[in-house]
Amino acid sequence: MPLIKLSLTDEELAELQSILAADERTANMSIQDFIRFKLLKKSNPAIFTPEEAVRRALEKFTPEDEPFTLPDIYGEEWSSLNPRMTGVFGKRFFKHLKNTANSVIEYAGMTEDGRRATYRVKEEQIC
């Protein structure tokens, strides 16, 4: 797959991020997805957002379950995501959990083959 590099100044990056946040259609897009959307008029299916993945995981898994992967969350719908975007979405999901205070899902490690991150629903803390 060809790789195209785009360098931005800190000010340009801040401006691009504010443009993304200002539009409901692009608020949850990565910068890479936004550029692809603007240049090629293509976007990932709306179900592939970190927030939607968290919602689905909480519907499907409990703290007692074994660690799960993003394909486990989406089941057969995972195949509708372009294969070159699965890793990008995985990184976005991981960063979302890392940057969300009080996240109810946590990173659990990598699969045995080292290809996918696994997650688990956190035990609720009773104060």
pLDDT in tens, 71-101: 999 999 998 888 878 888 899 899 889 888 7
3-state helix, strand, coil in the chain (%, to 5): 50, 10, 40
- Residue 75: per-residue pLDDT: 93
**Crossing angle for the helix pair 31-40 and 10-22, to the nearest 10 degrees:** 70
Range of the domain at 54: 45-127
Question: Does residue 30 share a domain with residue 53?
Answer: no
79 and 96 fall within a common domain: yes
- 61 and 113 belong to one structural domain: yes
Joined tokens for residue 123: 């035990």
Q: How far apart (Å, rounded) are the C-alpha atoms in residues 58 and 63?
A: 9
Same domain, 56 and 100: yes
pLDDT for position 126? 41
Tell me the C-alpha distance between 96 and 90, whole Å.
Answer: 10
Q: What is the pLDDT along the chain (127 residues), one digit of tens a residue?
A: 577 888 989 999 899 888 877 876 666 677 777 787 777 776 655 688 888 999 999 999 999 999 999 999 999 999 888 887 888 889 989 988 988 878 899 999 999 999 999 999 998 644 4
Number of domains in the chain: 2
Same domain? For 70 and 119 the reply is: yes
125 and 74 housed in the same domain: yes
Q: What is the CA radius of gyration of the chain?
A: 16
Residues 15 and 35 both lie in one domain: yes
Are 120 and 82 in a shared domain? yes
81 in the same domain as 20: no
